[in-house]
Chain A
Amino acid sequence: MKKFSSLLHNLILNPSRNTKIKLLQDYFKILDINRAYALAILSDQLSFQFIKASKLRELVYEQVDQHLFDYSYDYVGDLAETISLIWPTNKEGKSQNLSTLIENIKKIKKSEINREFSQLLSELSNNERWTLIKICTGGLRIGVSERLVKTALADLYNKSVNEIEEIWHGLEFPYENLFQWLRNEKSKPKIDFKKLFHPMMLANPIDEERDFKRLDASEFQAEYKWDGIRVQLMVSSKSVSLYSRTGDNISSAFPEIVENTKGDAVIDGELLVGRNFKPSGFNDLQQRLNRKKASKDLQEKFPVFIRAYDILFYKGKDLRKLFLYERRKYLEKFQKENKTNQIDLSLIIKFKTWKELTKYKNNVHDDLNEGVMIKLKNSEYLPGRKKGYWYKWKKNPKLVDAILMYAQRGHGKRSSYYSDFTFGVWKENELVPIGKAYSGYTDKELLVLDKFIRNNTTNKFGPVREVKKEIILEVAFDDVFPSSRHKSGVAMRFPRIHRIRWDKPTNEVLSIEEFKKEFKIG
């Protein structure tokens, strides 16, 4: 555990990719069971949400005064680190292996969690405590991607990272077959590809100035970019399963898809809510997300369907090495053979020049797509975000000027700065908050805002600072919906700070009525 926690500590502090790879390799060189655990943790494969953040807070409140903890958490901005620093250390116990530690934790009974886990935390050093909490709550956020871990392993054993990538989703903890193959003791693990989730092909944002000059419009096809969730549908005579973008099986949440789809294929598409293939917006889709099951009532109210973009397998045949326009023919064939109310095809937009495509991209009448996808007709289906094949071109965001009202310290890498901003518009002579944003600004703008907030605080509510109502923020957002939960009656989707409007006086900011009218909210 000491070695693994110092690995994480060094990974988080070393910005250089090469150093990170070297650190990982030094760790993986040690041939013992711990590295299987390390690999599982670093690649987020250890399905081990042992303890929730709320439970951890409960435990820490048993150890330290709640207010003192809250002041500290506000300052540090990271739950695991705050707890690891503030937790009173007893005498350090004897150091345990990573593997033993995790297996011991798995054995802890639910009823014993409070006592046993607290005991464990007390026996660890600061850094080990931090590591353990990170492992147990999931999501390390140490600036190491799954890809980097695979690269480190591949380089260490002179294999290609793509070879690892190919078999990755068929591997299981403790990865014996992987390590044996890497060390040339056994041949490459055999994986049944048909049953596997296949990592999805993703798009890069287009750089309008650069890309449109060098790309030939005739080599590309365009489709609308739908605002749902990206899914992979695996359908065969025996079973139907639905996977999210990250490879989680979400079949049980969408029974109507599982019950009704037919055929033998692997389809890539967008899951949307709507009737007769008319999507009804992300707000409706949200009613179906983050649920393990869907009641009949919910299925009736918010029916889902898949808008198919691509096809990876057809009747057992791997199509991924074919070009996009060839795969499309298979997709159309599949659709013809298996017509249902659950799948339709993504429309291909006909255009000759990039300028012509702009019209479709900014299609203001249709609020339900978020722009267009631009795909090279001759593109194989390549996992990950490879450059040069698929691009996304988002609609121009909606913009509104609002007044900065409150600020809070950010989390993670922005933890020392006042970087979470609440902004509002007028309601008679007062301001009413319409949203909160913590991104979009440049580093320079953040420094200016941070300084303004520190020097112009008029009131403090715990960690929240109220500031002089002087700064106007131009806020960009994707969409806005009516909301009964908020005082203003509106909820924004993905608001971010577009720029600071130094030029505008606060009395020119809209009132909430004007805001609702402009963005058509009843």
Chain B
Amino acid sequence: MDFINHQLFIKDINVHIDPILPKKTAIITHGHADHARFGHEHVIATRQTIDIMKIRYGDKCAKKFTPLKYGQKYSIKNYDFTLHPAGHILGSSQVLIEKNNHRLVITGDYKVGKDETCKNFKLVKCDTLITEATFGLPIFQHPDPKDEIQKLIRSVQINKNNCHIVGAYALGKAQRVMNLLRQQKYNETIYIHGSLEKLCQYYSKEKIDIGKFEKVSSKDKNFYEGKIIIAPPSALKDRWSRRFPNPIICMASGWMTVKQRAKQQGIELPLVISDHSDWNELLDTIKKSKAKNILITHGQEDALVYYCKKQNLVSKPLSIQGRSDEEIE
């Protein structure tokens, strides 16, 4: 494991994983902006991640793209790379690096729970595990997302004169919320903020069931009574949201576990729907990976490092620049 440094850089072959700055060769775990950036020479990722990067940054956001299927091997010198499903969002992957019989897995962002909008997480056994820790505290125990989405549906049924604006990240979370609504037989048109349109179209094209959706337009104010609108969190506080009739502000995020956080952000209906593993899933993954060496990246790493040490695992935090703890998609 000495071959990779705390910035997820393999100096030997000049390869970075999810680098923040433009680099020569970048393996990208998924399309969120804190992982996928503009301007690398060579991007290696799943086909969907590459598609998403092109949608967000344009076709020329990298000079060269190498799409990899899950499990397909890519070698540079004596390093073998394979990507494996991470269950985080469409196209998201873990990176397995094999060198001289040492197996190292970088989970990227991942969740273990079921999700119809992407391929589900696959456990990869390894010697060294570099895991995320966004929700690395025992207070985070995500409830069943179906129950959470039912809260939204019930509120829509009761408050017929209000519209519900759901804050959800444009990539992944928004489409997951839409898909969860469909799973619960909510068949009305879902209205979306303009910034979600291209990504929603892409998900539809990839045959993910997000149902009928339409971009919000300057219709009569009352038109949106009783409707569900999905918007990126930043739009909730913006003037944009003022055009709607009696909006009830909702937010789909793992952070919504903590009432005080919801209150701070002015969220009236918090929906605990997360695309990251919760505490128990993190522990379970660490255990089942059989790794003896655990490195912990962005999030609440202190508690997880403490836990691993108690289990006699070698463990330390990896602080990666550019990722502060509470601004993660």
Contact = CB atoms under 8 A, between A and B. Distances in A.
Interface stretch (A75-83, A275-283, A343-351): A75-83
B139, B141, B264 — which one has the most chain A CB atoms within 10 A of its CB? Answer: B139
A47 B260 CA distance: 26
B138 A68 contact: yes
A416 interface: yes
A76 B303 CA distance: 14
A149 interface: no
B267 A82 contact: no
A65 B303 CA distance: 11
Interface in B259-301: 259-264, 266-270, 300
Looking at B137, B264, B307, B310, which has the most chain A CB atoms within 10 Å of its CB?
B137
B306 A68 contact: yes
Size range of the interface on B? 20 to 34
B260 A75 contact: no
Interface stretch (A7-15, A309-317, A482-490, A493-501): A7-15
Given A12-B259, A13-B262, A416-B326, A72 B270 contact: no
Question: Which one of B140, B257, B303, B325 has the highest number of Cβ atoms from chain A below 10 Å of its Cβ?
Answer: B303
Given A415-B260, A415-B261, A85 B270 contact: no
A332 B262 CA distance: 54
A86 B139 contact: yes
Contacts of B258: 76, 81, 85, 415
Contacts of B263: 12-13, 413
A9 B270 CA distance: 10
The secondary structure that dominates the A interface is helix
B214 interface: no
A29 to B, nearest CB: 16
Contact of B141 (A12, A81, A85): A85
B206 interface: no
Contacts of B326: 416
Contacts of A68: 137-138, 303, 306-307
B262 A76 contact: no
Interface string B318-329: 000000111000
A126 B296 CA distance: 28
A264 to B, nearest CB: 49
A80 to B, nearest CB: 10
Interface string B226-268: 0000000000000000000000000000000111111110111
B302 interface: yes
A413 B139 contact: no
B323 to A, nearest CB: 12
B284 to A, nearest CB: 16
B254 to A, nearest CB: 12
A75 B324 CA distance: 15
A3 to B, nearest CB: 15
B259 A75 contact: no
B139 A82 contact: yes
A115 interface: no
Nearest to B262: A13
A78 B260 contact: yes
B303 A72 contact: yes
A122 to B, nearest CB: 14
Given A14-B268, A15-B266, A71-B300, A413 B260 contact: yes
A72 B260 contact: no
Contact of B259 (A13, A64, A65, A416): A13
B139 A416 contact: no
Contacts of A15: 266, 268
A311 to B, nearest CB: 43
B306 A71 contact: yes
B137 A9 contact: no
Interface string A407-424: 000001101100000000
Which 5 pairs of residues, A with B, have the shortest CB-CB distance?
Answer: A85-B139, A71-B303, A72-B139, A415-B260, A72-B137
Given A72-B138, A72-B139, 6 more contacts: A13-B262, A13-B267, A71-B303, A77-B260, A81-B259, A412-B260
Interface of B: 137-141, 257-264, 266-270, 300, 302-303, 306-307, 310, 324-326
8 contacts: A13-B269, A71-B302, A76-B258, A81-B259, A85-B140, A85-B257, A415-B260, A416-B260
